[in-house]
């Protein structure tokens, strides 16, 4: 009787211990965000841009290692002629392969964002503030480094492609494409 009770207690304890073993398990909730800096060269004009972005996200692991996330974006891009403020929203799919480590989780991800821009020029002319919208997709690869049971640091390399379209009446339809590469880092907290 004691052996059966002991096996039942140990068997019941093993399930919660196994369920808490990985932040990438099915049902885990990820509260995360990245901050990034990048340098972009526009193909049509050879102009260069420096960009700072902050992107919080909430993800849910639909199966072990596969997370579906919702992303927000705030960005500020500066050039010689002024600055651009960005707001965006979109989905992301991230895959964490089953590497047997309790502290390092490599990943790859694909994301798309819908972005609204407001351009502020630094000239003294009375030109209006310009508005535009982006369709953006990006691919990245990196790793999550767990620094505690529920908290990790992420680092990743990414490639991003954007198509920007003007929304200003009285201006000709102005569409341009940007190809950007960079590095970004962030933090992630998990509820599992």
Report mean pLDDT in 10-residue bins for the chain, 192 residues: 42 40 91 86 79 93 97 89 89 92 94 89 61 89 95 95 73 74 92 90
What does the pLDDT read at residue 124? Answer: 57
Question: How far is residue 143's CA from residue 159's CA, in Å, rounded to a whole number?
Answer: 16
What does the pLDDT read at residue 37? Answer: 82
What does the pLDDT read at residue 127? Answer: 56
What does the pLDDT read at residue 171? Answer: 55
Through-space distance between the first and last CA atoms of the chain, rounded to whole angstroms: 34
Question: How far is residue 22's CA from residue 30's CA, in Å, rounded to a whole number?
Answer: 12
pTM for the whole thing?
0.72
Question: How far is residue 155's CA from residue 143's CA, in Å, rounded to a whole number?
Answer: 6
Question: How far is residue 8's CA from residue 163's CA, in Å, rounded to a whole number?
Answer: 59
What does the pLDDT read at residue 157? Answer: 96
What does the pLDDT read at residue 98? Answer: 82
CB atoms within 10 A of CB 67: 24
Question: How far is residue 181's CA from residue 188's CA, in Å, rounded to a whole number?
Answer: 22
Tokens of 152: 């990790």
What does the pLDDT read at residue 15? Answer: 35
What does the pLDDT read at residue 20? Answer: 53
What does the pLDDT read at residue 159? Answer: 96
What does the pLDDT read at residue 154? Answer: 95
Question: How far is residue 169's CA from residue 172's CA, in Å, rounded to a whole number?
Answer: 8
């Amino acid at each position: 009787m004691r052996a059966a009770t002991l096996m039942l207690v140990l068997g019941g304890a093993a399930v919660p211990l196994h369920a808490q073993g990985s932040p990438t398990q099915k049902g885990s909730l990820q509260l995360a965000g990245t901050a990034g800096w990048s340098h972009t060269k526009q193909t049509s004009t050879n102009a260069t841009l420096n960009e700072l972005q902050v992107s919080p996200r909430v993800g849910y692991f639909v199966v072990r290692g596969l997370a579906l996330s919702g992303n927000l974006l705030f960005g500020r891009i500066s050039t010689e002629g002024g600055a651009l403020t960005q707001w965006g929203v979109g989905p992301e799919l991230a895959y964490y392969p089953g590497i047997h480590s309790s502290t390092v989780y490599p990943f790859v991800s694909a994301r798309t964002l819908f972005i609204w821009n407001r351009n502020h020029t630094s000239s003294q002319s009375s030109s209006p503030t310009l508005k535009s919208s982006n369709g953006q997709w990006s691919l990245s690869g990196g790793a999550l480094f767990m620094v505690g049971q529920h908290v990790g640091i992420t680092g990743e390399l990414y490639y991003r492609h954007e198509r920007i379209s003007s929304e200003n009446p009285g201006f000709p339809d102005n569409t341009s494409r940007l190809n950007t590469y960079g590095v970004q880092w962030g933090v992630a907290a998990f509820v599992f």
